[in-house]
Structure 1
Amino acid sequence: MIKVFSTAALLILTLGANAQSVELCIAPVDTFDSALLTSDNKIAVSSLNAQLIQNQTALFNGDVVITSSDAIINADLAQIDDNGRLVKANGDVLYRDSELEVQSQGVEINSQLRLLQMQDTEYQLKGIAGRGSADLLSLSGEQGLRLEDVTFTTCPKGGEDWKMSASEILIGKDSPFGEAYNTKFFLGGVPVFWLPYFAFPVTAERQSGLLFPNIGSSTRTGIEYEQPLYWNIAPNYDATFSPRIMTNRGVQLKTEFRYLFAQNQGELQLEYLPKDIDTASQDERYFYRYMHQGKLSDNWNLNIDFSGISDDNYIVDLGSDYYNRADTHLYRQLGVSYYSESLDFSLQFRDFDVVGDHPDVYRALPEMKLNYAADLGSVIDFNLASEAAYFENSLNTQPSAFRVHVEPSLSIPYQRAWGELLAEISVLQTNYEQELPDGYVGSLEERVSRTIGQGRLFGSLIFENAELLQDSEFLVSVEPKAQYLFTSFEEQDNIGFYDTTPLLTTFSNLFRGQEFTGLDRINDNNQFTLGATARLIDAQNREKLVVSIGQIFYLRDAELNSSIRDNDRSALAAEFDWQVNQRWFLHSDIQVATQTKKVERSSVATEYRIDDNRLIQLNHRYIRDLSGEEINQFGVSASWPITNNWHWVGRWYRDAELSRTTESFMGLQYESCCWALRVTYQRNLSNRFDDAGFRSTNEFDSGFGLQFIIKGIGSRKRNSDILEQGMFGYRQPYVLN
């Protein structure tokens, strides 16, 4: 018996390039039991009646079952001639193998000629939604597969929203491609596309070909059409070329090259618009990005992330799959790192392609970090943190600096199930070599040596008690914690700011003991920090409620000029997460100034969620002073099915301080078993830069998108569903456990 449909099944599986799995709307046929097959290429036949004629011909009728090493055939009548070399069956023939099931009026198998033929077939694939028919199916061991008057669809029977038909399909033996002649594509029974000839892949692997296009419109680009072409170069190499036609901008080419090895992977993206017809100068515009992640050995890693654009408004005008319009820096990083049980080392070159008016950004070229940890006996731990970095600025009026930092520390940790105690002393030694610009006037010095001592005592306790709340048993956990921190003072006005900015007063930052990121400023401390976290844990060890609150109490005023302290205690910081029930979630964090009793920062998010597709989230963000401006914004994000086939998503954000909507999005999707239509509309701040490099806060951009998907014939590899588009930036407010 010749196994017929293995090739045919693979044909249907990958009619489109880079095809992805589809939703199963056609119920797959029963799993094929390969244990029922015969071995050693033998044929077994059973029936209600059998007749043997002159030891040459065998006739079978009534519930005939023909079993071979590849397939099982059920029929009303069967005839076997020439000692099993010729098999004929007819009358409600059912062919089954491991990949599909076929109904036919007759089948003929000639094992000597290695030929199988079936007439008036209807097939259904196993494991995926795919079915069709063919008037004649012929499979030759020498020439391959031939199908006449064949159809294919992923829609259920009686609901063929789309289908394709061909007068003839040929698949040569061992050929990775098939050939289709006189092919028609139908939508709702109406022919919409015709091809006299096309070739298609017939293996389950990715194959080269056209992907689904993207169609849309916006005030920035006009009407646009993007047609991706996928090229499967090798099993571990591929590329995508996407010409993009924009009525307001011109023709752009977007390309992506990917590679994958056992221990390395990477991507290269290039986008090029030779002439932007929407600009007065009609300059060329481009974007590039290269990313690599890999291992050099068991302990050594290599990471590269390098991006660049032609101008500040490229992402705003043309969009990006990797950055958004609010970004001000594009990464340019090259680094190697080493990891072992006691020693970590990294060498990084950190540069940026700066977007907009941010010329004073410092680059670390290079930055080296080394951390070493060891046990000094059974009680004392030793840790050495060190760093060396060279910072330079693109502006000649700004200083550059070489910084070396060494921080040895000794600690005595004590951890038990009931809590934790830690005593730690550290020495923070930093040396600067600062290159000051010509004619510099200020407090910076060329050589600075800074030595600071620090001591820390930290303790936390865990109190647990099982309580009966709301007729369910919960575990109540209360974790008070306290820290005393002393850091010696040394004035640092003679040091520039290279990688240092103030930290926010959040609960997680209270116990850091540092008011700045980076090392250019280390504030003096003589302070206590008190805090507590309470948890409500259910019987499945899931946190249902978490409340944290804390504050720093300063025992003396800060002497460091850069310190942001203005009273004897920090803002009161609190965080709150509550899963009210299976559908309601609430998250909030807040910082309240103790002197004025005013809220300095806050965020609140509440969410009603039934499942991943049905949710509504309300959120609010408030900042009293951010670079001299007050931020007061609120928004709503929602996703909700209208019917079984229709789905709606949307988001809306409003700035209460400026009394205007800053962003709105709406998406509507129709999805059936075998096709989907997605329509989106959005309006948001354009964030364009003017000639001086400053962002505009008054211009808006709007546009719509259209996406049509036929399931089972390939898919745009970066297409996200409408929920992902509509909920961009969405975060579930309660993300514990």
Structure 2
Amino acid sequence: MKKTCAMLVSATLMPTVAFAQETTKSALNTASSAVPLELCSAEPIAFSSQSLMPKGHVKVEANRTEIVENKVALFSGNVDITSDSATISASQAQVNGNGKDLIAKGDVTYQDAQLKVESDSVSLRSEEERLEMKNTRYQLTGFVGQGAAQDILLDTDTGIVLKDVSFTTCPDGEEDWLLRASEISLEKGTVWGQAKHTRFYIADVPVFYLPYFAFPVSNERQTGLLFPELTSSSRTGVDYTQPFYWNIAPNYDMTISPRVMTRRGVQLNTEFRYLTDNSQGKAYVEYLPSDSDISGNPDRYFYRLEHQGVIAEDWLLNVDFNGLSDNNYLLDLGSDYYSRADTHLYRSIGLSYYSQNLSVNMQIKDFEVLGDTADSYRALPELKMRYTTSLGDYVEFDLESEIAHFDNNSSTAPTATRYHIAPTVSLPVRAAWGEFVAETTLFQTVYQQDNVEGTNLDESVDRTLGQARLYGALYFERETSFFSNDMSMTLEPKVQYLYTSYEDQTAIGFYDSTPLLTDVEGLFRGQEFTGLDRISDNNQITLGVTTRTLDKNNREQFVLSVGQIFYLEDNKVIAATKNQDRSALAAEVDWRLNDRWFLHTDVQVTTETDKVDLSSVGVEYRKDDSRFVQLNHRYVRDLSGETIDQIGLSASWPLSENWHWVGRTYRDLERDRSVETYTGIQYESCCWAIRLVAQRSLNNRYNEGGLQNTDDFDSGISLQFIFKGIGSSGARRNMLQDGMFGYRQPYSLN
């Protein structure tokens, strides 16, 4: 008889029930992330697969078993049926017709890896492949999601029908919100289900009704409405976005998102994505006809094209192309790709080749410049090549070369074509105790410059420079108890001698070069400019040292780095002239004071005057992921002629079990004014949340002449409701990341 039961349950009952629970779960559109247990009075149920039987086997246990004429089997008293995928328990069970029919009654419970169902009775007819469950309650395994159905009917031919069904992610007896439907039907072989007379309840009050709707019942992408977004601000007014997803093909799709703004009108946002065997990309377009908040009601738009693909073996094609209608588009309407502080939108097309020794990169680089910002040079085109190889066992050879043509939108600006080649021969020695590198490089650069009348530039410039570099570092480590037991400390001194010959470069324009900010690691870079238009002459020694304290798991607890350059000769390149015999002293500290306090700071101090040129400090107290306070300060004495002196305070803290607060403020000490103030408060239970956010920040709008107004502020308030299980889950992290500055950890300890 046990063999007959095994065939019946494993071959008929289990696959049918598995299909039922899987489609039911999809139909109810549950959330994909677990809910914090501390917010819920009921924990999600668990299921262990270790108690299941091997595939194709079943075990039946009962207090009493009776077989009648080898046709009927009766089981009573704590009946447990275990198969290879699920378990059934009941007060009694009866198998009729030599295994053709099964009836289980009395506190029937079915459970598998995804669902637990409790019902008054279960009836299975194997010949008809039909399963019926009466007066059921179900829970989702691993999630706080549960509901009830008066009848669950499963049929192999037609699928599943649930009558008088409900669903919520709230605990039983605390249903703050609830979905009810008179019937949900899922036809077998289709990816869609149907729901009739669906009502959405909040605190037993019906707030929404749909007589009929269809929904996806599989993990496959399906066409349909996505979760909407509702915000409010002084820039847009009440702002409502309703995305619609169109599954065009397995490797093509589109999201169409009408956006209604009470102050500006209706905007249409579209995103088209594609994926092939060798490429992927997207086309994104935003279009707002007749902006009602601007005089003249202009049309406004933003677009972005992205493509990455393999066009042949070792050859890659990359496209990143952006454009917009006006200077204030990002400020007024926002963007998922750029911030309100950006002044350039990049446009580039690149073709790259990579092999073991050779890499080639061809690019066309352009910019969309916002406002009266100094126009940047475009590289139309730029070709870079790098070849590396070993010359014997100890010597390495590196050849870098470049051809680039620089153009500018200004008709009076010079243009140039640059040819550059830089062979390097090096002798590297690397080991666990340290490293040593000796190298020499020849820089050969030729410029052909046009439109140089009335300037100090020459039409043709040939520049030849030589460079020699010696670099050495040692790594010492020993056990220590300076901070605590089971600690180790490292000492990593390093020294570099760098010599670069001098040549007058005033006849060369600035096309892709600008001074670099220097940190401790940058002291050993040997170059003070980006690009190649200026290569500073050097005769200098750089000294640096780093010490680390590591715990028994090799996790850094304390890192201190200090470095300085000592100039043996005055620098002659005009743009890099120095009036002292040493650079600013650069230092950087990362310190995990304990499990809750963290400190990061870096500073550059001019030793002759003891003036701070650059500094940043970040201190954070972190009790856990939801409780922290962060204070940071940033200072730059001279950044493009301006002094940066800003202080910021960020905090995230629960006010009670269900209430959470996030706040952030940044202040410009140089101008004695606020830059951004941001605060949000959220109430969150295990099944719903409400979030209120207020923000005030600098507007930085451009006037008609392209100049920015740095005195106006923008403010806004947004209110958002979240029902977990039918959209996104509530998260304070969203509030932390919103705003101009967002939240960043101030330390880099591993």
Equivalent in the alignment of 2:620: 607
TM-score (norm 2): 0.93
Equivalent in the alignment of 1:572: 585
Match of 2:677 among 657, 661, 664: 664
Q: Is the 8 A contact 1:633 1:656 kept in 2?
A: yes
Alpha-carbon offset, residue 466 of structure 1:
2.4
1:595-649 deviation per Cα after TM superposition (whole angstroms, max 9, x unaligned): 3221111111111112222211111111222233322111101111222222111
Equivalent in the alignment of 1:39: 56
**Residue type of the alignment partner of 1:80:** V
Query: Identity over aligned residues, as a percent?
Result: 52
Distance 1:649 1:33 in 2: 43
| Residues 51/420 of structure 1: CA separation in 2 closer, same or farther (3 Å cut) | closer
Matched, 1:513 2:526: yes
Alpha-carbon offset, residue 265 of structure 1:
2.8
Alpha-carbon offset, residue 46 of structure 1:
4.4
- SS for the counterpart of 2:726 is coil
Match of 2:491 among 470, 473, 478: 478
| Structure 2: stretches of 5+ with no match in the other structure | 1-11, 38-42
Higher relative contact order (CA 8 A, sep 6+): 1
Kindly report which structure 2 residues correspond to 1:113-192, keeping only aligned pairs within 5 A, or say none. Answer: 113-192=128-207
| Residues 129/593 of structure 1: CA separation in 2 closer, same or farther (3 Å cut) | same
Alpha-carbon offset, residue 138 of structure 1:
1.0
- SS for the counterpart of 1:413 is strand
Distance 1:561 1:514 in 2: 14
| Residues 645/254 of structure 1: CA separation in 2 closer, same or farther (3 Å cut) | same
**Residue type of the alignment partner of 2:544:** G
Q: Is the 8 A contact 1:15 1:712 kept in 2?
A: no
TM-score (norm 1): 0.94
Match of 2:546 among 525, 529, 533: 533
Q: Is the 8 A contact 2:16 2:156 kept in 1?
A: no
Alpha-carbon offset, residue 231 of structure 1:
2.6
Distance 2:59 2:321 in 1: 64
Distance 1:690 1:716 in 2: 41
Q: Is the 8 A contact 1:20 1:714 kept in 2?
A: no
Matched, 1:315 2:330: yes
Distance 2:573 2:116 in 1: 80
Distance 1:717 1:443 in 2: 61
Matched, 1:27 2:44: yes
**Residue type of the alignment partner of 1:520:** D
Alpha-carbon offset, residue 333 of structure 1:
1.4
Alpha-carbon offset, residue 18 of structure 1:
10
Matched, 1:80 2:95: yes
Match of 1:644 among 657, 675, 681: 657
Matched, 1:688 2:725: no
Equivalent in the alignment of 1:102: 117
- SS for the counterpart of 1:510 is helix
| Residues 295/610 of structure 1: CA separation in 2 closer, same or farther (3 Å cut) | farther
| Residues 53/356 of structure 1: CA separation in 2 closer, same or farther (3 Å cut) | same
Alpha-carbon offset, residue 135 of structure 1:
0.8
Kindly report which structure 2 residues correspond to 1:327-342, keeping only aligned pairs within 5 A, or say none. Answer: 327-342=342-357
Equivalent in the alignment of 1:6: 18
1:381-403 deviation per Cα after TM superposition (whole angstroms, max 9, x unaligned): 21111111111111111111111
Worse-matched range after superposition: 466-475 or 29-38: 29-38
Alpha-carbon offset, residue 726 of structure 1:
6.5
Q: Is the 8 A contact 2:406 2:417 kept in 1?
A: yes
1:422-462 deviation per Cα after TM superposition (whole angstroms, max 9, x unaligned): 2211110001111216xx21111221111111111222223
| Residues 18/121 of structure 1: CA separation in 2 closer, same or farther (3 Å cut) | closer
Matched, 1:226 2:241: yes
| Residues 481/497 of structure 1: CA separation in 2 closer, same or farther (3 Å cut) | same
Kindly report which structure 2 residues correspond to 1:694-705, keeping only aligned pairs within 5 A, or say none. Answer: 694-705=707-718
Q: Is the 8 A contact 1:669 1:722 kept in 2?
A: no
Distance 2:161 2:397 in 1: 74
Equivalent in the alignment of 2:301: 286
Distance 1:421 1:32 in 2: 57
- Aligned alpha-carbon RMSD (Å): 2.4
Alpha-carbon offset, residue 69 of structure 1:
6.8
| Residues 711/8 of structure 1: CA separation in 2 closer, same or farther (3 Å cut) | farther
Q: Is the 8 A contact 1:17 1:206 kept in 2?
A: no
Match of 1:214 among 221, 226, 229: 229
Alpha-carbon offset, residue 284 of structure 1:
0.7
Alpha-carbon offset, residue 722 of structure 1:
2.6
Kindly report which structure 2 residues correspond to 1:379-458, keeping only aligned pairs within 5 A, or say none. Answer: 379-436=394-451, 440-458=453-471
1:171-208 deviation per Cα after TM superposition (whole angstroms, max 9, x unaligned): 11212111111111112222111111111111133333
| Residues 717/656 of structure 1: CA separation in 2 closer, same or farther (3 Å cut) | closer
Match of 1:548 among 561, 565, 579: 561
| Residues 57/292 of structure 1: CA separation in 2 closer, same or farther (3 Å cut) | same
Number of residues of Structure 1 aligned to a counterpart in Structure 2: 733
**Residue type of the alignment partner of 2:26:** T
Distance 1:405 1:38 in 2: 68
Distance 1:162 1:564 in 2: 70
Matched, 1:90 2:105: yes
Distance 1:37 1:133 in 2: 31
Distance 1:502 1:69 in 2: 68
Worse-matched range after superposition: 365-374 or 715-724: 715-724
Distance 2:744 2:479 in 1: 32
Matched, 1:237 2:249: no
| Structure 1: stretches of 5+ with no match in the other structure | none
Q: Is the 8 A contact 1:604 1:620 kept in 2?
A: yes
Alpha-carbon offset, residue 56 of structure 1:
3.8
Distance 2:398 2:490 in 1: 32
- SS for the counterpart of 1:472 is coil
1:356-410 deviation per Cα after TM superposition (whole angstroms, max 9, x unaligned): 1125211112211111111112222211111111111111111111111100111
**Residue type of the alignment partner of 1:48:** N
Alpha-carbon offset, residue 54 of structure 1:
4.2
Matched, 1:496 2:509: yes
| Residues 480/378 of structure 1: CA separation in 2 closer, same or farther (3 Å cut) | same
Alpha-carbon offset, residue 297 of structure 1:
4.9
